[in-house]
Structure 1
């Protein structure tokens, strides 16, 4: 069971996983050793899946985001497994969700330019059969982030 301090620690780590334990401890009003033990427990219990650095996409040359919506006529396990392998092999595809509704999948693709989408598109369709692909270019990011609302953590 998590308490408010655990949730505060999770929020601090989501904001900056590189923050020192001393700084986190001060922000959540704990001693450094108590804070360190809590962080270790949160990792051991799986609340913290991993710590990563979030790169500045424009700075590393990937300012463009394209969302591709995919419909397929295939839903067998072998097709899905092949699809998983195809998308795993393309580093520009950073997120994929299986959907309800008209489309089966949505892909978030980060690119150096809009024109590079054609390279990714051709890589996909050469390796797997798709019924329909439609893409939308993100014009502006209004909200972005990996941080989860910690109020729901139990």
Structure 2
């Protein structure tokens, strides 16, 4: 898909919405220097172009009882396209996996998994990841603390 044409006003709109997607259209228009109608039209255009994919609430994982973040590096037995696709489709079933990246280098995938405690991760590991066909190895690293977490892209 070609890159969307984004001007300075669109960048301002995106910056505000990335910080607070709950901002009213009137406030957004005021912040970016437009009247509400043209501002709303620009937001709709950004949505239609797929620049704005969706709106979500960012939930504090500690406050909902999921304080543990585990980064699991996965190496597959083979890196053939059908096996990469099978793994990618399989991990979509598990809500504990909140991020997954196909990687270059020594490992094929990097996953971020959130769980309530270490026994929950052990159970998840045993009942899911270790049972996936084609997985050669799994290396887990536990986050001690989160220093920065942002969904906002540096659009400027």
TM-score, scaled to structure 1: 0.91
Alpha carbon RMSD of aligned pairs, Å? 1.3
* In 1: Cα distance, 2:152 partner to 2:56 partner: 12
Tell me, yes or no, if the aligned pair for 1:90 and 1:120 is still in contact at 8 Å: no
The answer to whether the aligner puts 1:136 opposite 2:138 as a matched pair is no
User: SS of the residue aligned with 1:55?
Assistant: coil
Structure 1 gap ranges (5+): none
Structure 2 gap ranges (5+): none
Q: Which piece of structure 1 moves more, 131-140 or 118-127?
A: 118-127
Runs in 1 of length 4+ with deviation above 4 angstroms?
Answer: none
Please name the residue that 2:47 is paired with: 43
Tell me, yes or no, if the aligned pair for 1:86 and 1:124 is still in contact at 8 Å: no
**Structure 2 counterpart of 1:29, from 30, 33, 41:** 33
TM-score, scaled to structure 2: 0.90
Count, aligned residues: 151
Please name the residue that 1:126 is paired with: 131
Tell me, yes or no, if the aligned pair for 1:96 and 1:105 is still in contact at 8 Å: yes
* In 2: Cα distance, 1:114 partner to 1:25 partner: 47
Tell me, yes or no, if the aligned pair for 1:68 and 1:136 is still in contact at 8 Å: yes
> Quick one: higher RCO (CA 8 Å, sep 6+), 1 or 2?
1
Please name the residue that 1:55 is paired with: 59
